[in-house]
């Protein structure tokens, strides 16, 4: 028996287990930058488990990694699993390893300032909301959020002072954002994220790995 044959048998076992333990999820494979949930591959049973396969542990604050029991013969890394109440993306589906998923708690749009052909006295270009272009997702009409990509957004890092020194002034808080490898674009420092709650995040660092994108961001306040 080789590795591929063993993997097929493992996934067949996952499929049987999901029929007993899981609920229905739509499996979506992103094909468009505006909305990743337009191409439904299949609807099948899946069970999402925290921590490990013992079913005896639960996730705590700051933990969005889940193990997925489903028929992996139908899924790929970067696919989304969507039910009526929750969404996940597959971060890793390695040979003979558990299927690793990230639970999504927000939906985001990624925006970027276009490169200007002209500069002023110094080679500096500021951020102008009216000039920002959507890279992922699409703005709706009349200032509505529109469509975006499900993502994990969790508190990470320290709050930064705005420097105003005014009573009641809020600090810019650090957040960690996780997105799948299937986004199809290269995220850059200084790109901007907007979530479905209207919060705005400036990307300070962008790391791409086998698990997808991990972004270090700072929430911007008006």
Confidence (pLDDT) at 63:
86
Cα four-point dihedral sign 32, 115, 140, 102: positive
Confidence (pLDDT) at 41:
97
Cα–Cα distance between 137 and 184 in angstroms, integer?
Answer: 12
What DSSP element (H or E) covers 8?
Answer: helix 3-21
More confident residue, 115 or 132: 132
Q: Which fold has domain 106-220?
A: Thrombin, subunit H (2.40.10)
Q: Is residue 193 predicted with pLDDT exceeding 90?
A: yes
Confidence (pLDDT) at 123:
54
Q: How confident is the model at residue 117 (pLDDT cuts 50, 70, 90)?
A: low
CATH classification number, 3-104, choose in 3.90.75, 2.60.40, 2.40.10, 3.30.200: 2.40.10
Q: What is the pTM of this model?
A: 0.88
């Amino acid at each position: 028996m080789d590795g591929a044959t063993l993997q097929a048998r493992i996934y067949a076992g996952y499929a049987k287990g999901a029929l007993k333990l899981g609920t229905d999820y739509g499996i979506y494979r992103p094909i468009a930058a505006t909305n990743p949930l337009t191409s439904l591959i299949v609807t099948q049973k899946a069970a999402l488990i925290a921590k490990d396969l013992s079913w005896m542990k639960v996730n705590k604050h700051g933990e969005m990694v889940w193990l997925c029991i489903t028929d992996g013969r139908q899924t790929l890394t970067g696919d989304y699993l969507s039910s009526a109440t929750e969404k996940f993306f597959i971060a890793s589906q390695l040979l003979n390893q558990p299927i690793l998923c990230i639970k999504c708690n927000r939906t985001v749009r990624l925006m970027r300032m276009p490169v200007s052909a002209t500069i002023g006295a110094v080679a500096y270009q500021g951020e102008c909301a009216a000039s920002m272009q959507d890279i992922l997702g699409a703005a709706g009409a009349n200032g509505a959020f529109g469509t975006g990509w499900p993502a994990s957004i969790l508190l990470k890092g320290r709050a930064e002072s705005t420097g105003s020194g005014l009573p009641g002034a809020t600090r810019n808080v650090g957040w960690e954002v996780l997105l799948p490898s299937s986004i199809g674009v290269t995220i850059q420092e200084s790109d901007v994220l907007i979530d479905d709650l209207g919060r705005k995040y400036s990307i300070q660092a962008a790391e791409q790995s086998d698990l997808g994108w991990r972004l270090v961001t700072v929430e911007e306040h008006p």
